[in-house]
Amino acid sequence: MEDVVLHHFSDDPRIERFVPHVPQTNPNHEPAVWAIDDDHAPVYWFPRECPRVAVWGREGSDRDAFMARFTTAASRLHAIESSWLEAMRSVQLYRYDLPSEAFAPWAEADGQWISRQEVVPLGVTAVGDLLALHAEAGIELRIVPRLWPLRDEVVAGPWPFSIVRMANALPRI
């Protein structure tokens, strides 16, 4: 697993070890520690509980179709609800670097890795301004009244996507 850099994002800068746990959102899953690779890390550049939709195009003509469909010049699109904008501006987010040898790819999601053992982080770094981070990475960040219309469009399409914390989104209308 050389050349794989794995991360965990948190608003807590004092985590000394990650202990396997059963996630509240997936109570049938065995206890594990989750990590994300560099390519997929931007889906975690948000306050922890913030609902979000992320979608991106692959290379070539697929990316061109993606850009046309979502009316964007960016190759990646993230969206949050407007009620989360202040949290995006004010959260202090930290990136933990994790030893890749402790992890294996998680089959249920691209870019995600799991470990069944305790993991001691290699280091922790403050992420900084999340809006600036998106801009510097060339990711279009949309602030929308409700996520459901975009979420429905994303899951119906052919592009890779990530949908996180939709239980915290405003209800459908």
* Structure confidence by residue, pLDDT tens digits, 89-114: 999 999 999 999 999 999 888 899 99
Judge contact between 115 and 17, C-beta under 8 A: no
pLDDT of residue 2: 57
The whole-model pTM stands at: 0.92
Does position 1 have pLDDT exceeding 60, yes or no?
A: no
Q: What is the pLDDT of residues 4-31, one digit of tens each?
A: 889 999 999 999 999 999 988 889 999 9
Average pLDDT over residues 114-134: 97
Tokens of 20: 């396997």
* Residue 68, pLDDT above cutoff 90: yes
Instruction: Decide: 129 and 123 in contact? Cβ < 8 Å.
Output: no
At residue 132, the 3 state secondary structure works out as: helix
What residue spans define the domains of the chain?
A: 6-168
